[in-house]
Structure 1
Amino acid sequence: MSTSEPYLIPLQAVTFEEEIKKSHFITYLAHTASIDAAKQFITEIKSVHATANHHCWGFVAGRPTNSMLWGFSDDGEPSGTAGKPILAQLTGSGVGELTAVVVRYFGGIHLGTGGLVKAYGGGVQRALTLLTTQQKIITSELYLCCDYNQISLVEALLEEYNATQLQADYGQQVNMHLALDSRIVTEFSTKLINRSGGRIVATATPES
């Protein structure tokens, strides 16, 4: 998939609780746009549940297919029984920028390897059914310079392509800083050149 393609991200946080053989499991899902944000969320949940026996987690801190931004931890549970099942559910969901933390208060009954995998993975799976998402549009930034008598031409194109004007400097000429959907940058740039008779060119960096 192209890096300019949109992907789903969480719209709001989700919590799911269940008791399995006297152990209390609480699954938290939250939108985390970076690895730092994911780690901060994990730390926050750990502080809220400081007396819990385990705080197992997994995160997808960017585009869901970018494995360089994945992470997980068993946090003291047997290797492979918590973090990997959590991450497997996240990556299978197709949702990006998502962190799951599963808190466990041990109830005295051991669940065994299979039981733990089912508990941690199952908790995240159920929490994901409660999750609402929105599409994240990948944008690119462009810069252009035009004369004052060309502003209406540029503004018409901005509206046509749903571009956002981030900044405009009005001097001898008008310098604009724009953002628009990365998938249509080439089309927008081409149309800008054609409509202005080659007098306006959008660039990826501001003119010096």
Structure 2
Amino acid sequence: MSNDYPIPAGFLERETEIKKSRFIARVYPVSSRDEVREYVARAHRDFPDARHVCWGYQIGRPGSAAEAAMNDDGEPSGTAGKPILNVIQHKDMGDVLVIVIRYFGGIKLGAGGLVRAYAGAAESVLSEVEREVQQSLSQVQVSLDFADEQPLRHWCEQNQGVVEHIGYGSGVQATVLLPETSTDEFIAFCEARKLDYRLEN
């Protein structure tokens, strides 16, 4: 079974107005709870006078997310974060955060109206954001000589690999992340240059 799944290709913002209330929806690709916190904090900084900053996210594969959470930020329980998360879960998209910022327009929407408004705001941004495929990555530990570092970096640039960490001692220790589809080519590269490698996953 392929581990690939769609994620948002980048940031997008859309605004809707319902009964004079403004709903500003933002979508971000996220891979950690720290990123979620940072983007939520940014929304509070960008809209300091907004009444509510509500959100929902899921990290990992759609349908079996490793982590998911939501926040109503002062709206009646279940009327903001839950509908946002429901829309995310129906979009078959992983590693995604949706934040909906609300400016109250003076007309109460009621619980049902709020659910529809927040779901609609999430829908507006998720239906328009470009998607890309999150490929499963392999992690490889490589021990090499200093002379091999540049060829290693060059190979990674050409093959969607990422040198995530590099350490220097008597030689060079590198941690490389690369798409699972490139693992065999990378092993062949290591063996051709007589590099010690260890596949982590």
- In the TM superposition, what are the counterparts of 1:89-168 in structure 2 within 5 Å? 89-143=87-141, 164=161, 166=163
Cα deviation digits, residues 68-96 of structure 1 (max 9, x gap): 41110111111111100000111211222
One-letter amino acid of the counterpart of residue 139, structure 2: E
Instruction: Find the residue that maps to 2:26 and give its secondary structure.
Output: strand
Aligned-pair CA distance for 1:165 = 8.2
Inter-CA distance 120–201: structure 2 relative to 1 (3 Å threshold): same
Partner of 2:16: 18
- In the TM superposition, what are the counterparts of 1:1-208 in structure 2 within 5 Å? 5-143=3-141, 164=161, 166=163, 179-182=177-180, 203-204=198-199
TM-score by length of 2: 0.74
Long gaps (5+) in structure 1: none
Aligned-pair CA distance for 1:125 = 0.6
One-letter amino acid of the counterpart of residue 63, structure 1: R
Report if the CA contact (8 A) 1:38-1:61 is conserved.
no
The separation in 1 between residues aligned to 2:49 and 2:187, in whole angstroms, is 60
The separation in 2 between residues aligned to 1:179 and 1:91, in whole angstroms, is 28
Instruction: Find the residue that maps to 2:126 and give its secondary structure.
Output: helix
Aligned-pair CA distance for 1:176 = 8.1
Instruction: Find the residue that maps to 2:199 and give its secondary structure.
Output: coil
Identity %: 32
The separation in 2 between residues aligned to 1:101 and 1:87, in whole angstroms, is 10
Instruction: Find the residue that maps to 2:14 and give its secondary structure.
Output: strand
Long gaps (5+) in structure 2: none
Cα deviation digits, residues 130-168 of structure 1 (max 9, x gap): 10011121111235789xxxx9xxx9xx89xx574848x
The separation in 2 between residues aligned to 1:82 and 1:124, in whole angstroms, is 10
The separation in 2 between residues aligned to 1:176 and 1:120, in whole angstroms, is 45
One-letter amino acid of the counterpart of residue 30, structure 1: Y
One-letter amino acid of the counterpart of residue 105, structure 2: G
How many residues end up aligned between the 2 structures?
189
Inter-CA distance 163–50: structure 2 relative to 1 (3 Å threshold): closer
The separation in 2 between residues aligned to 1:21 and 1:46, in whole angstroms, is 23
The separation in 1 between residues aligned to 2:128 and 2:18, in whole angstroms, is 20
Aligned-pair CA distance for 1:204 = 2.2
Instruction: Find the residue that maps to 2:28 and give its secondary structure.
Output: strand
Aligned-pair CA distance for 1:178 = 5.2
Of Structure 1 and Structure 2, the greater strand share is in 2
One-letter amino acid of the counterpart of residue 108, structure 1: G
The separation in 2 between residues aligned to 1:175 and 1:52, in whole angstroms, is 48
